[in-house]
Amino acid sequence: MIIGTTLIPLVGWMVDIRQPDKERDRHLEAVRVLVERYKIQAIELNGDFALLYPRVIDRGYYEDVADLQQELGFACTLHLPFLWLDGASLNEPIRQATMQSMKQVVEATQPLHLESYTLHLWGVWTSMLTGFQEMPPEEKQGFFDEIIRRAEYTLAEFGDLVSPENVCVENLPAFPFDHIIPLVERQGMRICLDVGHLAAQGGDALAFVTEHWEKIGEIHLHDAVPETEKGSRARDHLPLGEGEVDYLTFMRILEEGGYDKVVILELNTETDLLQSLEKVRPWL
C-alpha cells in the first residue's frame, strides 16, 4: 500500500493572497518536508485551493509540484473541490457550477501524474434535505430520488473528463452511501472509503472493506467517535488511537489482501499527523 497525507497539517487552510510567491513556496516546501523528513509516500492535493486562491495555486504551482514529483518520486492524488459545491444539487445552476469548478481544477493539474481523483458527490444542503424528519415520507422520497438522478448526471459528465476508473467517490456523513454504490458501478468508477466518516456514523470499516474490496480505489484514514445516546456529537479527523477505529486490524487486512493503492491520513495538525504516522510506521 502507499501511505500519504494532505498538505493541511503543515500549511493549514488559509493562504495570504498578498504574498503569492511566498505562499507558493510555503506549499512546495511542505511537500518536500513530508516526503523527505517524514517519509510520506503520497501527497493528496486539495482542489479547493486552486479555486479559493487562484493567484497562488495556479497552473505554474502544479507544474512545480510535478517537478518535485519527478525529483522525489512520490505518488500524487487530487481531492476535487467541494467547498460551497454540490454535485447532487436540485438547483441545476449549482450542479453545473460544481461541474465547471471540477473541470477547471482537472485542467490546472494536467502537469501531474495522478493516481486517483477523490470526489465529494454532494454538499451540506443535500445532506440536510435528506435528514428532514418532519417531511412527509412520499415527499422526502421524491426529493431523494431526484438527488440520486442529479448525482448520476454529475458522475456521467465527470467521467467524460478523466478515466472513470481513476475516479473515487467518497462516502460522506448524513447520506446513505448504499444508494450511491450502484451509480459508481454503472459509471465504471470506484469508491474512496473514508474510514473516519464511516466510524463516526457507527459503521464498520472492516466489514465495508471486505464487502467492497474490488471497488475501493482509495482510502482516507483517521480516527473517529460516533454520536452517543447522551447527545455527545460525532467527531472525526482525530489522530489514530484517539477514537474507536480498529486501525491495526484494518491495516493488517489491507496488507494481507495485497492492497496496493493509496491510504491518505486525513489530519488537521502536524502533531496529529505525527502521532498517526507512528501508528502506521510498520507499513511505511
155-196 pLDDT, tens digit each:
999 999 999 999 999 999 877 899 999 999 999 999 999 999
Mean pLDDT estimate for the chain: 94
What is the torsional sign of CA 191, 242, 238, 10?
negative
pLDDT at 168: 98
Q: Which three cell numbers stand for residue 134?
A: 418532519
Give 204-258 as a DSSP string.
-HHHHHHHTGGGEEEEEE-EEEPPPTT-PPPEEEEPTTSSS--HHHHHHHHHHHT
- pTM score, two decimals? 0.95
2-283: CATH number:
3.20.20.150
Query: Does residue 273 have a pLDDT over 90?
Result: yes
For the stretch 228-241, pLDDT in tens is 756 678 889 999 99
Residue showing cell 495485497: 258
Nearest Cα to Cα of residue 205 among 186, 190, 185, 224: 224
Q: Parse the chain into domains and list their residue ranges.
A: 2-283
Whether the Cβ atoms of residue 16 and residue 89 lie closer than 8 Å to each other: no
* Distance set, CA 62 to CA 19, 33, 84, 262 (Å): 17, 17, 23, 20
How many other C-beta atoms lie within 10 A of the C-beta of residue 233? 9
Q: How far is CA 210 from the centre of its chain?
A: 20
pLDDT at 164: 97
